[in-house]
A and B are shown apart, each in its own frame.
Chain A
């Protein structure tokens, strides 16, 4: 073995030992004392660093949790209740269960519903387009369709539907981190409670003008029919736009029925039964029987009249003649 190699090995090894010694003492001397619980809490967090909690990242949130005296103001929307329970366990604190939220797109102005009146050729960025003008359609409130919310989503929970030109939220992936809400320059996306059995009712329109239907077939016209229909006072109007307060809404779906343009959306509800409640049908059937019995009467003039009545009754109660079909 040539002496050069031996010298090199000896020199480098001793250098290494010296450096290690220095590092060891420096590390001891300048050791930063940190609450070990911060590491533990961080471990329990989802580590997405999305900022949905309002902190710059998961580490900062962990620090905030450890320093906080109670956890009522802190919530990790991504981890949800389960994560917060774990965090609370580590810190020995109590935490209340929160209702899970989900992002909701409040615009239904698809290509089909909202005709284009101009053509935007600028930079494909919603904020830039929104600074320039109201958008390609007559509605100056609606979705611009350039997908800034989709870009902002860290969880692949959104995509642009090519056929409608509107963003779609994938419920299973959405963590309600608020990124899309802040990204949208038109404030279309809202975080709403997921609702019982994932059922939600919301106004899918943010057009505050009177007669929003002029620009979009499914726009809220501001007719206030839903406000009058709602027994729980959950619907209020901002200028000419209905808003359903999710806390007051009991999901009765009456507003959905009265909304003529169909701006109010229901999600995950079973399809509505066409037939009215049973007793009413029974009562009407009785009436029909009675009338039919009367028709047996040979009075011809009456017959014509009564037959009409039977038809009307049948129609109104949803009883079909061709039951066999």
Chain B
């Protein structure tokens, strides 16, 4: 690769620079053995919950389908362990509500015979375009970056649109998290074959893998592996949050701007996470559905921050034990990263397809500071990567003038939290903007019907 391609790019508007705190960056991925009980939630993706196809007392094997997708936007769910289904019950998950989950008592570790468990790298892509799409949908693959949007829908390009670029998102701009970083180091070849599969499914010739420059080893590793595959290149990116936001990444890498209310496909791009690419490789070449994922367990006071390969449905407490137990002064447990993650209120919450990390925040950092009045400093405006005016949107939502918030493009907000991060008055900007987004979305839906 020539030197000019290697110059560092970034998105032009806003952004913040939190400390990156990548404590587990040098810890290789280790496998967490299956727990005694798993509860596999039936809604781990955006869209309609899946419908269970197993019943109480049914024996299941690893990789067996236990819930089928229902409706257009939905995803299949497979058993991550072997054993017996004890019940289908309502279980507290990372949404903070009790939702349906399949609870399985684990016995042995018996896999479906069709799954190839060997480590050998399969390079040849035998399947055709339609077969790939079908297989990806069957394997229950969703966006593993955190948004958990079913992957097969993104691969199905709507009529009249055309894609010419695939972007693999290896940015991992959230502080603390290193799951994608480790994956790019250890499974780089698989990720690139996964990219090849995705390119074949999309019918595109070019692929760019975007990586922040705080992961030089990953950039070097993938750049080296890319040489074998024409059309795939690595793009180093500046360390700036939210570099990994889909729209920011497209702007940074290709200098294309997704129109307001539009999708990446409107500018001819499809973005997938590197984790998704690896899952696609496993599904197509190894016949393995999405039953496990890499989770970073980390925090300032954590004994040994780790990157674990975890079966979906494992309770969070098992992960914390593997990282040396819960530190004494833990103030908050977050599923995901510190910027966009969600606080958990129970340790029994199961790991889902979208759980990228478990962050244990010490007491002194865990609490919000008292909210004060807005001093109109405009910092939120200058850091907003979408060019919005967060202080204004918050005021509008607080005063319940949602029509005006809609006119001020509240739905363009990507909920990155940069505004709340910089606010010197500790205003709950994102809380109110999220509320407004919800109300405006319902308003729009009502208007259509």
> B-contacting residues of A (Cβ < 8 Å)?
117-118, 121-123, 125, 127-128, 131-135, 140, 209
A122 to B152, CA, bound (A): 36
Q: How far is the CB of B163 from chain A (nearest CB, A)?
A: 34
0/1 interface trace, chain B 72-106, chain A, CB 8 Å (1 if under): 00000000000000000010100111100000000
Structural contact, B97 and A134, CB atoms closer than 8 A: yes
Q: How far is the CB of B90 from chain A (nearest CB, A)?
A: 6
Please indicate which of the listed interface residues A122, A135, A209 has the most CB atoms of chain B within 10 Å of its own CB. A122
Provide the residues of chain A in CB contact with B438, threshold 8 Å: 131
Structural contact, A123 and B96, CB atoms closer than 8 A: no
Closest 10 CB pairs of A and B: A133-B96, A123-B428, A118-B345, A123-B431, A121-B368, A134-B96, A128-B431, A134-B97, A128-B435, A140-B97
| CB of B376 closer than 8 Å to a CB of A | no
Q: List 30 A-B contacts (CB under 8 A).
A: A117-B345, A117-B346, A118-B345, A121-B368, A122-B428, A122-B431, A123-B371, A123-B428, A123-B432, A125-B432, A125-B435, A127-B435, A128-B431, A128-B432, A131-B434, A132-B96, A132-B342, A133-B95, A133-B96, A133-B97, A133-B343, A133-B345, A134-B92, A134-B345, A135-B96, A140-B92, A140-B96, A140-B97, A140-B98, A209-B90
- B367: which of A121, A123, A127 is its contact (CB, 8 Å)? A121
Q: How far is the CB of A239 from chain B (nearest CB, A)?
A: 9
Q: How far is the CB of B259 from chain A (nearest CB, A)?
A: 27
A223 to B48, CA, bound (A): 31
Closest-by-CB residue of B relative to A127 is: B435
Q: Which of B179-226 contact A (CB under 8 A)?
A: none
Structural contact, B435 and A209, CB atoms closer than 8 A: no
Structural contact, B434 and A134, CB atoms closer than 8 A: no
Provide the residues of chain B in CB contact with A123, threshold 8 Å: 371, 428, 431-432
- A209: which of B98, B368, B371 is its contact (CB, 8 Å)? B98
Provide the residues of chain B in CB contact with A134, threshold 8 Å: 92, 96-98, 345
Structural contact, A131 and B435, CB atoms closer than 8 A: yes
Closest-by-CB residue of A relative to B432 is: A123
Q: How far is the CB of A116 from chain B (nearest CB, A)?
A: 10
Provide the residues of chain A in CB contact with B432, threshold 8 Å: 123, 125, 128
A131 to B96, CA, bound (A): 9
Closest-by-CB residue of A relative to B99 is: A140
Please indicate which of the listed interface residues B98, B345, B371, B428 has the most CB atoms of chain A within 10 Å of its own CB. B345
Closest-by-CB residue of A relative to B370 is: A121
- B434: which of A128, A133, A209 is its contact (CB, 8 Å)? A128
Q: How far is the CB of A167 from chain B (nearest CB, A)?
A: 20
Provide the residues of chain B in CB contact with A118, threshold 8 Å: 343, 345
Provide the residues of chain A in CB contact with B342, threshold 8 Å: 132-133
A134 to B343, CA, bound (A): 12
Closest-by-CB residue of B relative to A121 is: B368
A118 to B331, CA, bound (A): 10
A56 to B371, CA, bound (A): 34
Provide the residues of chain B in CB contact with A127, threshold 8 Å: 435
A301 to B95, CA, bound (A): 69
Q: How far is the CB of B437 from chain A (nearest CB, A)?
A: 10
Closest-by-CB residue of B relative to A117 is: B345
A122 to B332, CA, bound (A): 14
- B431: which of A117, A125, A133, A135 is its contact (CB, 8 Å)? A125
A118 to B435, CA, bound (A): 21
Please indicate which of the listed interface residues B92, B98, B432 has the most CB atoms of chain A within 10 Å of its own CB. B98
Q: How far is the CB of A269 from chain B (nearest CB, A)?
A: 34
Task: Using A117-B346, A209-B90 as known contacts, list a sample of 18 further A-B pairs with CB atoms less than 8 Å apart, ordered by residue number in A.
Answer: A117-B345, A118-B343, A118-B345, A121-B367, A122-B368, A123-B371, A123-B428, A123-B431, A125-B432, A127-B435, A128-B428, A128-B431, A128-B432, A131-B438, A133-B95, A133-B342, A133-B345, A209-B98
Provide the residues of chain A in CB contact with B343, threshold 8 Å: 118, 133
Provide the residues of chain B in CB contact with A132, threshold 8 Å: 96, 342
A221 to B394, CA, bound (A): 40
Q: How far is the CB of B402 from chain A (nearest CB, A)?
A: 12
Provide the residues of chain B in CB contact with A133, threshold 8 Å: 95-97, 342-343, 345
Q: How far is the CB of B34 from chain A (nearest CB, A)?
A: 27
Q: How far is the CB of B413 from chain A (nearest CB, A)?
A: 14
A32 to B142, CA, bound (A): 61
A134 to B97, CA, bound (A): 5
Closest-by-CB residue of A relative to B428 is: A123
Q: How far is the CB of A148 from chain B (nearest CB, A)?
A: 11
Q: How far is the CB of A133 from chain B (nearest CB, A)?
A: 2
A14 to B49, CA, bound (A): 76
A122 to B345, CA, bound (A): 14
Please indicate which of the listed interface residues A118, A127, A132, A133 has the most CB atoms of chain B within 10 Å of its own CB. A133
Closest-by-CB residue of A relative to B438 is: A131
0/1 interface trace, chain B 355-377, chain A, CB 8 Å (1 if under): 00000000000011001000000
Provide the residues of chain B in CB contact with A140, threshold 8 Å: 92, 96-98
A140 to B95, CA, bound (A): 11
Provide the residues of chain A in CB contact with B96, threshold 8 Å: 132-135, 140
Closest-by-CB residue of A relative to B429 is: A123
0/1 interface trace, chain B 28-50, chain A, CB 8 Å (1 if under): 00000000000000000000000
Q: How far is the CB of B221 from chain A (nearest CB, A)?
A: 38
Q: How far is the CB of B344 from chain A (nearest CB, A)?
A: 9
A131 to B371, CA, bound (A): 20
Q: How far is the CB of A209 from chain B (nearest CB, A)?
A: 6
Q: How far is the CB of A138 from chain B (nearest CB, A)?
A: 8
A134 to B96, CA, bound (A): 5
Closest-by-CB residue of A relative to B94 is: A133
Q: How far is the CB of B366 from chain A (nearest CB, A)?
A: 9
A293 to B85, CA, bound (A): 66
Closest-by-CB residue of A relative to B98 is: A140
A282 to B67, CA, bound (A): 65
Provide the residues of chain A in CB contact with B97, threshold 8 Å: 133-134, 140
Please indicate which of the listed interface residues B97, B342, B346, B431 has the most CB atoms of chain A within 10 Å of its own CB. B431
Closest-by-CB residue of A relative to B96 is: A133
Q: How far is the CB of A149 from chain B (nearest CB, A)?
A: 15
A236 to B290, CA, bound (A): 42
A222 to B169, CA, bound (A): 48
Provide the residues of chain B in CB contact with A128, threshold 8 Å: 428, 431-432, 434-435
Q: How far is the CB of A281 from chain B (nearest CB, A)?
A: 48
Provide the residues of chain B in CB contact with A121, threshold 8 Å: 367-368
Provide the residues of chain B in CB contact with A135, threshold 8 Å: 96
